[in-house]
Amino acid sequence: MHIKRQLILISLALMLINTGCSTLGQSMGLGGGIGAGTGAILGGIADPGSNGKYRTRNVIVGATLGGIAGMATGSAIHGMKESERQKGYVAGRNSKPPLATGLPPNLSDPKVETRWVEGRAVGNKYIEGHFEYIIAEPTRWDLD
């Protein structure tokens, strides 16, 4: 019986190390596990009656009540953390500068000239005829 308790305590400790509290289910599960383990230990310590007659009942009742209390506590802690996270989100969202409501001015089209360049030989290579595009006037903001 003594080895069984040690295995339960070791299992509980490993569960606590590996469990994170990022969701409501995980928070309640962790709280319930801690509460049930603590309740079972306290139930085992409580008065077992004559010849240990009520020891099993005490462990079961302690684990049940501890699990319920632990789940409620895990839920409450998760709710407080979630509320703080939500408040931080709202504060951050409200602190950003408001979006500009005006429209930017339009851009005018650039003025482009097109020239045809005849094919020619340059040294030992031939360059085919092609168009060249020259930006005569770049695009500008049209403030009118």
What pairs with residue 126 in β-bridges?
Answer: 121
Enter the tokens of residue 76.
């409450």
- pLDDT of the chain, 144 residues: tens digit per residue: 566 666 676 666 656 554 545 687 788 888 888 888 888 888 888 878 888 788 888 888 888 998 898 888 888 888 888 888 899 888 888 887 767 667 777 888 899 999 999 999 999 999 999 999 999 999 988 776
Cβ neighbour number for residue 88 with a 10 Å cutoff: 10
pLDDT at 136: 94
pLDDT at 112: 95
Distances (CA, A) of 120 to 123, 131, 133: 10, 13, 18
pLDDT in tens, 102-125: 777 788 889 999 999 999 999 999
Query: pTM of the predicted model, to two decimals?
Result: 0.49
Cβ neighbour number for residue 44 with a 10 Å cutoff: 16
pLDDT at 9: 66
46 CB-near residues (< 8 Å, 6+ apart): 58, 62
Backbone angles phi, psi at 116, to 5 degrees: -95, 130
pLDDT at 11: 65
pLDDT at 22: 65
